[in-house]
Amino acid sequence: MRSDAPAIPFFRSRWVEVPEGVREVPGAPLPAGFRAAGAAAGIKMPAHPPALDVGLLVSDSDETTSAARFTRSGTAAPPVLVTRERARLDALKAVAVNSGNANAATGRPGMDEAARMQGAGAMMGRTTEDRVAVCSTGVIGVQLDGHKVVRGLLEAGKSLSPEGVGAFQQSIMTTDLFEKRATVEVDLPGGTVRLAAQCKGAGMIQPSFATMLCFVETDAVVSAETADLLLGVCVKRSFDRITVDGQLSTNDTAILLCGGASGVEVEPESDGELRFGQALDALLRQLAIDIARDGEGAKRVGRVTVRGGHGPNVERVARAVGNSPLVKTALYGGDPNWGRIVQAVGLALPDTAPLPVDVSIEGVQVCVAGMAVEHDVPALAERVARDEVEYVIGLPGDGFETEVFFSDLGYDYIKINAEYTT
């Protein structure tokens, strides 16, 4: 895979609004004060040349603040547990990560290896263990060879640089078909700052939030409280809104690191906080849509918007449609079979018949109050053959609205996952 920035624009989804004063900086290094690197430690399946599978990300400032979000899985992996329980989540300074092995369902030995990673990351990042987050992604239920990870971290530590972001990105990827990373400049009242993000994820994706790792760095001065608030809000509008296959990962982690090298402060409850938050929101929403777009074997991404007067029902319907194999296969085939959507709505809301549901696809009304309406079928078929397809569902009442981004479901998803460990 190429380590330079992709030729296509990062912000390319019609569902992401790019705020005024936010500019993509293609091919840019990490924001000032950050360094990263990747190394090949032999954790991924043999490849020629060896694949990068261990990464290290470091902030050089001792004043770095941070925020983090993790999976809510009942079988959360040791890296998540170690980071959540042993690290200062408001003052993280480094991230040690490996791909190819999730270090999940590995018991006490897995906890020991995650702690070993944390120690090696602290040594190479020149900080204390409680300021290091550890992350792993890959196969579940296989013991992680911590010696390989440590050797990889030692190698990565020797080549840390702001330009190492490409190697770091590659080191965190598993079944991803393309890199998910970007750097943007953001104009704030006090000056211009940079935000950069690197993300991975393509399968075992479900709102709440996804099998994904995401690392965000900024040279803005941001308090830990503000960082936590903004990351929490933006995750709910991005990674919490995607699904590929309805599965909840053991290793989900999103981390925001604020190094402060620009000297530009994001003050709480200010216009600067609003602009910074809008930029972070756009960045994470595009990355989330990219994960859905890169769903294993997928070729299209859908967005379902549901409106109605009962919040829990609105949420149930959105997730039911986004996770429906019938809806997802129709999306894959470019088939405007809206009956599958009605079926998914009924499954989510049993014992509510007769339910006066409205359905439109790409702006074309196909169902009103639970009954089919005439529409231009060939024109609709042409619209659902595009890369992005919009579905809008209306339930009785007003006051609540939600959205879910979802990938289609095709032949390659079965092939990729049937052969994942073989």
Active site residues: 211
Longest CA span, the chain? 67
Round to whole Å and give the CA distance between 246 and 306.
18
* Helix or strand (DSSP H, E) at 198: strand 191-200
Distances from the Cα of 163 to the Cα of 1, 27, 220, 338, angstroms: 16, 9, 19, 48
Go through 305-321 and write b for each residue having 16 or more CB atoms within 10 A of its CB, e for each that does not: bbbbeeeebbbbbbbbb
Q: Quick one: tokens of 72? A: 């809510």
**Which amino acid is located at 234 in the chain?**
C
Alpha helix stretches (DSSP H) within 104-260: 107-125, 146-158, 165-171, 224-236
For CA atoms 76, 82, 85, 91, give the dihedral sign: negative
Q: Are 121 and 56 in contact (CB under 8 A)?
A: yes
Round to whole Å and give the CA distance between 107 and 92.
25
Q: Are 401 and 307 in contact (CB under 8 A)?
A: yes
